[in-house]
Amino acid sequence: MTKLATAVGQALADSGITAAFGVVGNGNFLAVAGLIAGGVRYVAARHEGGAIAMADAYYRATGDVAVCTTTYGPGLTNTATGLAEAVKHRSGVLMLCGDRPASGSRPIDIDQTVFAAALGAQTVRLVDPASARAAAADALGLARTGPCPVVLSLPSDLLAAEVPAGAVTGSVAPAARPLPAAAQIGAALDALAHARRPLLLAGLGAWRSGAAKPIAALGDRLGALLATTLMAGGLFNESPWSLGICGGFSPPRAAEIIGDADVVVAFGASLSDFTLHGGKILSPQAAVVQVDLAVAPTADRVDLCVTGDASAVACALLDGANARGLTACAWRAEAAEKIGRAGWEHEPYHDASTATRIDPRTLSMTLAGLLPRERTLVTDGGHFIGWPAMYWPASDPSALVFTGAAFQSIGLGFAGAVGAAVGRADRTTVVALGDGGALMGLPELETLIRIAESALVVIYDDAAYGAEVHLYGPLGTDISPAVFGDTDFAGVARSLGATAVTVRTVDDLTALRAWRDQDCRGTFVLDCKIVPDVIAKYLSDIRGHIRAGGA
Ligand SMILES: Cc1ncc(C[n+]2csc(CCOP(=O)(O)OP(=O)(O)O)c2C)c(N)n1
* Out of 197-201, 299-303, 545-549, least confident range: 545-549
Atom of ligand 1 nearest to the CA of 409: 26
3-state secondary structure of 490: helix
For residue 468 and ligand 1, the question of a CB distance below 6 A is answered with yes
Question: How remote is the CA of residue 467 from the centroid of ligand 1, in Å?
Answer: 6
Atom of ligand 1 nearest to the CA of 461: 16
For residue 410 and ligand 1, the question of a CB distance below 6 A is answered with yes
- Closest residue to atom 23 of ligand 1, CA basis: 465
The contacts of residue 543 (CB under 8 Å, 6+ apart) are 470, 471, 474
pLDDT in tens, 369-428: 999 999 999 999 999 999 999 999 999 999 999 999 999 999 999 999 999 999 999 999
pLDDT in tens, 39-77: 999 999 999 999 999 999 999 999 999 999 999 999 999
| Strand (E) or helix (H) holding 542 | none
Q: For residues 135 and 160, what is the distance between their CA atoms, to the nearest angstrom?
A: 17
* pLDDT above 70: percentage of residues in the chain: 99
**What does the pLDDT average to over 425-452?**
98
For residue 538 and ligand 1, the question of a CB distance below 6 A is answered with no
pLDDT class for 533, splitting at 50, 70, 90?
A: very high
Concatenated DSSP letters for 41-68? EEEE-SSHHHHHHHHHHHHHHHS--EEE
Question: How remote is the CA of residue 464 from the centroid of ligand 1, in Å?
Answer: 9
For residue 413 and ligand 1, the question of a CB distance below 6 A is answered with no
Whether pLDDT at 502 is above 90: yes
Atom of ligand 1 nearest to the CA of 438: 15
Whether pLDDT at 165 is above 80: no
pLDDT class for 550, splitting at 50, 70, 90?
A: low
Whether pLDDT at 1 is above 80: no
The contacts of residue 377 (CB under 8 Å, 6+ apart) are 388, 392, 394, 399, 400, 401, 430, 431, 432
pLDDT in tens, 334-375: 999 999 889 898 999 999 999 999 999 999 999 999 999 999
3-state secondary structure of 385: helix
Phi, psi of 279, rounded to the nearest 5 degrees: 85, 5
On whether the CB atoms of residues 198 and 269 are closer than 8 A, the answer is: no
pLDDT of residue 167: 62
Whether pLDDT at 551 is above 60: no
Alpha carbon 551 to its chain's center: 15
For residue 82 and ligand 1, the question of a CB distance below 6 A is answered with no
Q: Which of 357, 465, 538, 543 to mutate to test the pocket of ligand 1 (most atoms within 8 A of CB)?
A: 465
pLDDT class for 180, splitting at 50, 70, 90?
A: confident
Considering Cα of 413, then 415, then 416, then 420, what sign does the dihedral take? positive
Q: What is the length of the chain?
A: 551
pLDDT class for 544, splitting at 50, 70, 90?
A: confident
On whether the CB atoms of residues 51 and 68 are closer than 8 A, the answer is: yes
pLDDT class for 278, splitting at 50, 70, 90?
A: very high
pLDDT in tens, 87-98: 999 999 999 999
Q: Which of 79, 408, 410, 470 to mutate to test the pocket of ligand 1 (most atoms within 8 A of CB)?
A: 410
pLDDT of residue 169: 66
The contacts of residue 209 (CB under 8 Å, 6+ apart) are 177, 268, 309, 310, 311, 312
DSSP 463: S
Question: How remote is the CA of residue 465 from the centroid of ligand 1, in Å?
Answer: 5
Whether pLDDT at 459 is above 80: yes
Question: How remote is the CA of residue 459 from the centroid of ligand 1, in Å?
Answer: 13
